[in-house]
Amino acid sequence: MPPRRHATRRLIAAATAVGGLALAGHGASATGPDRHDGIRAPREFSGIAWLATVRHHGPPGEEAPSQEVFLVCHDTRDNDAERDLPRLSLVKTPVDTDGIVVRELDVDFPDVPNDLESIARLPGRDQALLVESNADGDDPDPTIYLVAWDRKLRMRVVDSVPWPKTPEPHVNVEATGVAKVRGRDYFVYAERAEGSDTTRIHMTRLTVGREGGIVFGTEWTSIPFTAPEPPGARPASGLDIGAAGEVYVSSAYDPGDLGPFDSAVYHAADVRAGGPIGARLEPVAPPRQLARSSGLKVEGVALVDGSPPLFIGDDDEDYGGLLRQLRVTDPAVDRRTPAPTR
């Protein structure tokens, strides 16, 4: 891929409101759809993983602000129009009214990634799996990449392998995660399952070396997951796994590039010790809905160091990408969310 410049953008005005109104920001042009000299939204966030918390120095006597830093992937295709676009970005939460900070990354891949749709961080390690989706079968050889980063969050691709043989046909995967049980890692994924309200969550052993060497198990354990809401949604558009084994899954409704979108996030299952492969999936029945995001297409779910708060990344198609912390109304899940006062 040809070299690209790193790009940093601060979003200094609201480009899209949750209610669906497009608001013109400072300097935005309203002279027609072909003008691109105004503020533009960040590119779509198709997958997300938490990397670090950055603490800043504040004025004496005041609490220093901190930022959560996330790695996001973009579902860019390997075609003439998108081949040279970045596949990864760093996104930082706001510390002032300038909004989120987005820095597109120039990372050398062994080949051109096609439709990266999810990121699965390895618990306790500065490494993550970047996962190609298979794009409804358009990619004959989908790949899983291993990326590592240093203390300055500089990224490098360490290894890449083809998708393992899966327990059901590999069609379009947007939801992946890695769980750790008794010191062993387990790879978890779910098909997007377009056209159905039910998918299956699958899990197998995973072994990853510090400098590469990705080995998947050959035995799988699986459970069904049905998304009660929103109607007509893809039941699994994003996934993350908590330190205690909680499997959080987003479900998203996508009628087209301009929406209207709709999403929900669920506590869908738990990873527990035991079973033939050393860990098992236990469904949460019925799935516990943690949040509803009407108007947004959630494609990524991320915990901060394996625990709440819970963040979402959005791929709102022509509206661009969005990062938000969820207000989880279940105090058993998010103890940092204060209960409403009466």
185 strand-pairing partners: 180, 206
- The answer to whether 6 and 104 are in contact (CB under 8 A) is yes
Question: Residue 232 corresponds to which tokens in the numbers above?
Answer: 């007509």
Task: Provide the mean pLDDT of the chain.
Answer: 87
Residue 107 is predicted with a pLDDT of 97
Tell whether the torsion through CA atoms of 164, 166, 171 and 175 is positive or negative.
negative
- The type of residue at 193 is A
Residue 330 is predicted with a pLDDT of 61
Q: Is the pLDDT of residue 13 over 80?
A: no
Residue 137 is predicted with a pLDDT of 81
173 strand-pairing partners: 191
Residue 193 is predicted with a pLDDT of 97
Q: Is the pLDDT of residue 341 over 80?
A: no
User: From edge to edge, which strands make up the β-sheet containing 116-121?
Assistant: 116-121, 127-132, 143-149, 155-162
* pLDDT (tens digit per residue) in 229-288: 999 999 999 999 999 999 999 999 999 999 999 999 999 999 999 999 999 999 999 999
* pLDDT (tens digit per residue) in 310-338: 999 999 999 999 999 998 766 566 544 43
Q: Is the pLDDT of residue 35 over 70?
A: no
Residue 333 is predicted with a pLDDT of 61
- The answer to whether 195 and 236 are in contact (CB under 8 A) is no
Residue 249 is predicted with a pLDDT of 98
Q: How far apart are CA 323 and CA 316, in angstroms?
A: 11
Decide: helix, strand or coil at residue 319: helix
Q: Which of 19, 25, 32, 42 is nearest to 323 (CA)?
A: 42
Q: How far apart are CA 112 and CA 329, in angstroms?
A: 41
Question: CA 33 → CA 28, 29, 37, 142, 316, distances in Å?
Answer: 12, 9, 11, 35, 18
DSSP E strand stretches across 43-142: 47-55, 66-73, 88-92, 101-105, 116-121, 127-132
* pLDDT (tens digit per residue) in 141-179: 999 999 999 999 999 999 999 999 999 999 999 999 999
Residue 235 is predicted with a pLDDT of 98
Residue 4 is predicted with a pLDDT of 38
Q: Which of 137, 131, 114 is nearest to 175 (CA)?
A: 131
Q: What is the largest CA-CA distance in the chain?
A: 63
Q: How crowded is residue 169: how many other Cβ atoms within 10 Å of its Cβ?
A: 8
In the DSSP assignment, the letter for residue 218 is S
- Mark residue 105 as left, alpha or beta (left: phi above 0; alpha: psi -120 to 50; beta: remaining): beta
Residue 202 is predicted with a pLDDT of 98
* pLDDT (tens digit per residue) in 81-126: 999 999 999 999 999 899 999 999 999 999 999 999 999 999 999 9
What is the arithmetic mean of pLDDT over 288-308? 96
Residue 226 is predicted with a pLDDT of 98
Question: Residue 291 corresponds to which tokens in the numbers above?
Answer: 């949040």
Residue 8 is predicted with a pLDDT of 39
| Spacing of C-alpha 89 from chain mean position | 12
Residue 167 is predicted with a pLDDT of 97
pLDDT band, very low/low/confident/very high, at 134 (cuts 50, 70, 90) = very high
Q: Is the pLDDT of residue 6 over 80?
A: no
Residue 63 is predicted with a pLDDT of 77
Q: Which of 230, 204, 229 is nearest to 217 (CA)?
A: 204
Residue 332 is predicted with a pLDDT of 61
* pLDDT (tens digit per residue) in 191-229: 999 999 999 999 999 999 988 999 999 999 999 999 999
Question: Residue 94 corresponds to which tokens in the numbers above?
Answer: 């706001």
